[in-house]
Amino acid sequence: MLRTLDLILVGVMTAAAAVTYTIKHHAELKLEEVHRLEAEIKLEKDTIDLLKADWALLSQPNRLERLVNNYNGELQLQPTASTSLVHAKELPMLKSQVPVPDVTEAKAGSGKAKPKAAVPRPEEEDLMATGSVE
């Protein structure tokens, strides 16, 4: 009986060691993946910083003024009037936001009701994107 118990305990210990090794192996793989993702994130942040620096260089007012002066003959650029700029709330409403007129039989006069205007389906609605001018 003592030998049977010893064999069972050795089997349990071997199984526990195999499970522990498997968990350790999976943890190491996840750690490698975390390091790879951190490296990718750092590369993306560095790229974003580089692009911001590039944009700052390209949008310098003296550089733009020099380009305007050099190519004014071909482009014929004019300064934008301050009255040309509007805010999004000043724009007219979209077609999908216009209320549908209510036509009744009394207004029709001939006894026949005019059909109501078709309500636009969601896929037909106007989609407008506006940028900030401030």
| pTM above threshold 0.95 | no
Query: Residue 29: helix, strand or coil by DSSP?
Result: helix
pLDDT digits (tens), the chain, 134 positions: 679 999 999 999 999 999 999 999 999 999 999 999 999 999 999 999 999 999 999 999 999 999 988 998 898 888 888 777 888 778 887 878 877 887 775 565 555 555 555 555 554 444 555 555 54
Report the half-sphere exposure of 17 (CA within 13 A, side-chain side): 6
Q: Which tokens belong to 67?
A: 């380009």
Report the half-sphere exposure of 73 (CA within 13 A, side-chain side): 1
Map tokens 């750092």 to a residue: 42
Q: Could you tell me which residues come within 8 angstroms of residue 94 by beta carbon, excluding any fewer than 6 positions away?
A: 125, 126, 128
